[in-house]
Amino acid sequence: MPSLDDLRKRITSVKSTQKITKAMKMVAAAKLRKAQENAEKGRPYSEKMNNVILNLSKSITDKENAPKLLVGTGEEKVHLCIVLTADRGLCGGFNTNIIKKAKSYFEKIISENKTLKIITVGSKGYDQLKRQYKSYIVENISFKESKNINYFDADKVGKIIIEKFEKNEFDVCAIFYNKFKNVITQIPQEQQIVPLNEDKDVSGSDNDYEFEPDEDEILSNLLPKNISTQIFKAMLENSASEQGSRMTAMDNATRNAGELVDRLTIEYNRSRQAAITKELIEIISGAESL
């Protein structure tokens, strides 16, 4: 049984941990609000972009000569996976969930004897993947320096992808990130960005657009931008998810610490009382024996 002193020390230590987790929760809550706002503000852009591309791809009749970014290279041998994670830990299952999702995809690719290439964005993902998939990781990008998520960073990633595509380094490209549903739920997502998945709803509007210059030129100009936009969207969703996940994790930690303090306090009081009782009995029995 631990001594009274030990118990007291443990209680103080748990209490100070609780203070830290509580503070982290507050910070995450404040950041979450901002991240959520940003994610919402960023949505119209990617939605509009999607719309335009959808309308454009519908009007393309000559599928053979369509830009490769849209229809693919016709092969499916080399898969490039972009794994977007956070740069910091202590956010519950946030990073692990993305990695888990990505790993199951990796296994599928490897078992089908296709070539796998990985780009990790965010240091946590790299840390978790390097042990098992070191040889597949072609690039590791981290935006630790930039405080806020900005389009410029996303564009950098987008440019790397396009550069690799133009060098024929991959056929299919998928990104992994967490979609922010609400503070408690974040859904790990797998999204294919090259070639673009043809959307299911063919209905849409059948407006006849006038194009200036022609469709092909617009598309080849637009598709690279779309990749950056999709990555930017994923980054925004990810950052909101990260903060939400951290908030929930820290909330749980604070509550657990509270429970632990309660339990330890009871144990402390009990053993203190036991010591007092023991002393009393000793005094009484000593007095009786006189």
| Window of 44-52, 172-180, 249-257, 267-275 that interacts with other proteins by CB under 8 A | 44-52
Burial class, 186, CB count within 10 angstroms (exposed 0-12 / middle 13-18 / buried 19+): buried
- Answer for which of 1, 5, 44, 61 binds other proteins (CB under 8 A) is 44
- Answer for which of 14, 24, 32, 42 binds other proteins (CB under 8 A) is 42
Q: At what angle do helices 215-288 and 94-111 cross, to 10 degrees?
A: 130
Spatial distance between the Cα atoms of 247 and 32, rounded to a whole number of angstroms: 8
Q: Say if strands 172-180 and 186-194 run parallel, antiparallel, or are unpaired.
A: antiparallel
Burial class, 61, CB count within 10 angstroms (exposed 0-12 / middle 13-18 / buried 19+): exposed
CB 93 to other proteins: min, Å: 28
- Answer for which of 10, 100, 179, 225 binds other proteins (CB under 8 A) is 225
The answer to the question of residue 220 lying near other proteins (CB under 8 A) is no
Catalytic, 81? Answer no
Spatial distance between the Cα atoms of 257 and 238, rounded to a whole number of angstroms: 28
Determine which one of 28, 39, 82, 91 is catalytic: 91
What does the DSSP 8-state code read for residue 63? G
The answer to the question of residue 163 lying near other proteins (CB under 8 A) is no
Spatial distance between the Cα atoms of 254 and 207, rounded to a whole number of angstroms: 56
- Answer for which of 27, 52, 71, 141 binds other proteins (CB under 8 A) is 52
Complex with other proteins: residue 171 or 215, whichever CB lies closer: 215
Helical (H) or strand (E) element with 197: none
Complex with other proteins: residue 213 or 286, whichever CB lies closer: 213
Tokens 């987008």, located at residue: 158
Question: Could you give the residue numbers annotated as active site?
Answer: 91
Interacting residue ranges for other proteins, rule: CB under 8 A: 38, 41-42, 44-46, 48-49, 51-52, 55-56, 150-151, 154-155, 205, 207-213, 218, 221-222, 225, 229, 232
